[in-house]
Amino acid sequence: MAALREKMRESAIANRRDLIEESNRAKHTAKEMMRLEKKRQLAETLREKVEAQETGEDLERKRNWEYSIEEDEEWTKRMEKKKRRADFEFHDQTSTAHRKYKKDLDLLKPDLIAYNLEKERALGLEPGTLVQIEEGGKMSLTAAAKDQAVMVSGATASGSVAEGLYRDANSLSYADNKPSEEAIDRVVNKLNNDLDKRGKWSRKRTNEDEGDITYINERNKVFNKKISRFYDKYTTEIRESFERGTAV
């Protein structure tokens, strides 16, 4: 039994060693592949630049021909959104709340399939009108679900049947819709992330840690810092005496 236990222990050690070596080889292989891919991309970029210089072509214009119209429109929208939100300075509470609201909207991913299933039931439509079930149980939206005219005409024709789905200010229904566990977890995670960020970040306040202001502009501020760096060790006691009123 002792010899058998010793063999089992040696086998476990050998398996562990082989596992570590294989993991290290995989890591090195992945790093090597990434390094070679970066070198290949760099060489390809340099080759394109040389060819563009020899032929007199505009390299940026040549690259833009590779993008589709949809990709160009998406890139333009992204740049416009980035430009609109480039101002991160604090102006007032309203603008800050609006910027936070727009940022949260970007993170919102509504479940259109679940919504259209509920709309089918509320409007009394035939199953499969808005959501079709494909092979394997996968669900997808039909063309009717993507057509806004279908939603408007269906809501108008159904009348009171659609009141549970399309409520207005006069509706007395309240809190009768139970969200799914996934939706609740998503909201809780979002609130927890906001609390964590709020605890780690605070707006930088000018002159918060500088004490008394002894300068009239930014240039004078830098000059005073240089003077303090060299002469504070000699003048600290004199300045404190003047502040206490005990200077001779």
- As a whole number of angstroms, the distance between CA 124 and CA 54 comes to 68
* Strand, helix or coil for residue 139: strand
Q: What is the reported pTM? A: 0.40
- As a whole number of angstroms, the distance between CA 136 and CA 139 comes to 9
Q: Are 59 and 45 in contact (CB under 8 A)?
A: no
- What percent of the chain has a predicted confidence (pLDDT) above 90? 0
Q: Which residues pair with 139 in a beta bridge?
A: 133
Taking CA atoms, 129 is separated from 117, 143, 149, 159, in Å, by: 9, 9, 14, 18
Element of type H or E holding 4:
helix 2-55
Residue 153 in this model has a pLDDT that exceeds 50: no
Element of type H or E holding 188:
helix 181-200
Domain ranges of the chain: 2-60, 110-168, 214-248
Highest mean pLDDT among 107-116, 202-211, 212-221: 212-221
Q: In terms of pLDDT, which residue wins out, 25 or 231?
A: 231
Check residue 210 and give its pLDDT. Answer: 60
Check residue 223 and give its pLDDT. Answer: 92
Check residue 154 and give its pLDDT. Answer: 45
DSSP state of 124: T
Least confident of 71-80, 90-99, 114-123, 160-169: 160-169
Determine the average pLDDT of the residues in 149-154. Answer: 44
pLDDT in tens, 23-80: 777 777 777 788 888 888 888 888 888 888 888 777 777 777 778 888 888 888 888 8
Residue 189 in this model has a pLDDT that exceeds 80: yes
Check residue 200 and give its pLDDT. Answer: 77
Q: What is the mean pLDDT of the chain?
A: 77
Look at residues 111, 134, 132 and name the one whose alpha carbon lies nearest to residue 120. 132
Q: Are 224 and 214 in contact (CB under 8 A)?
A: yes
